A and B are shown apart, each in its own frame.
Chain A
């Protein structure tokens, strides 16, 4: 049931793309990773850098590894940490948007099984273009250790890292127009 819905969704995205290629954002995904878990742990997060070549929004993330997948923002108010679901994440034209500890992340809630280091997690990012059309981007994010440190450096923004990604809807991913974060 779930699979056939996804297939239908992909077919819709493909057909939309035939009519609105010009408006579609090419979103580059860099350095995607998922934090590993210990057995029994029910939640974890994915981090990455997103760059869109037109103004667009990340409106949804999907993955089979958990019952629920949400886009979250972490805020610190008076030393109190709060995590909140946000309806979407703006991807302004040519700006590197970082999902990293201390900011945004994709939250996996009610994991079906342990997320083991060195495995890969498949997820799908749903991007909404300015004209309202949507496209799906498939991302394969390697699983890092539970103990992985937050990477606060931005020098690696040009680096494609070791995350593999492909466009599930159509194949016009851009790889050569990356801009450094600063």
Chain B
């Protein structure tokens, strides 16, 4: 699938959102800084593993809001910045941070071996969870979450292009928000509080 095709898919997905929202009407509407994607028909499930081999699905986080994003540890720029923002969000949430789980999913499972992925995410916060899977599993979850990623050769190695947005699930495991990389920690914390209370 070309970049353009993939983008059209994402855009068309977002385009039908207001209709889905009107049709659904179960969740209350949110006044948030992020994009409210309540009711979308993607991002409904995942099944990935942490460094200890334990498998995690959406059900395992019931009762907690879940902030999930996709990246790779060889990235010196966007990924550590997003993780540092998550640390700040936790600090802004104070005690309520106990009800937020941060999950970092690698889109470079070949290089991000589980132990290193865990060391990387836990360097930011011991409670952050790094998840991985086989290349096929990562391709599947990326498709389910409409995450674009692609290997791009550089020098004798490669880098990854990837979607830099974060998703936030409510404590019932419903996907509610799509957060841009530029959104501040303060705005994220405000948004998450709305889902917690």
Contacts and interface: CB of A to CB of B under 8 A. Distances in A.
A78 B119 contact: no
Nearest to B159: A83
Interface residues of B, number: 37
Given A38-B123, A41-B74, A79-B164, A85 B84 contact: no
A147 B7 contact: no
B136 interface: no
Interface of B is mostly: mixed
B115 A40 contact: yes
Contact of A80 (B115, B124, B163): B163
A149 B81 contact: yes
A148 B124 CA distance: 9
B96 interface: no
Contact of B156 (A38, A79, A84, A110): A110
Contact of B164 (A39, A81, A149): A81
B164 A147 contact: no
Most buried by A among B111, B154, B165: B154
B161 A147 contact: no
A102 B116 CA distance: 24
A82 B77 CA distance: 10
Given A68-B155, A70-B155, A80-B163, A40 B77 contact: no
A93 interface: no
A109 B155 contact: yes
Contact of B81 (A40, A102, A110): A102
Interface string B97-135: 000000000000001010110011001100000000000
Interface in A24-47: 35, 38-45
B16 interface: no
B116 A147 contact: no
A140 B77 CA distance: 20
B80 interface: yes
A145 B124 CA distance: 10
Given A70-B154, A109-B157, A150-B81, A79 B180 contact: yes
Contact of B119 (A35, A40, A67, A68): A40
Contacts of A74: 77-78
B84 to A, nearest CB: 5
A44 B156 CA distance: 15
Contacts of A78: 7, 10
A105 interface: yes
Contact of B77 (A45, A67, A149): A45
Given A39-B119, A40-B116, A70-B155, A81 B87 contact: no
B73 interface: yes
Contacts of A80: 3, 148, 161-164
A83 B75 contact: yes
B74 A147 contact: no
Interface string B72-90: 0111111011011001100
Contact of B84 (A38, A67, A109, A150): A150
Contacts of B155: 68, 70, 85, 109
16 contacts: A40-B113, A40-B119, A41-B120, A43-B74, A43-B76, A44-B76, A80-B3, A81-B77, A81-B78, A81-B163, A101-B81, A147-B83, A147-B87, A149-B88, A150-B81, A150-B84
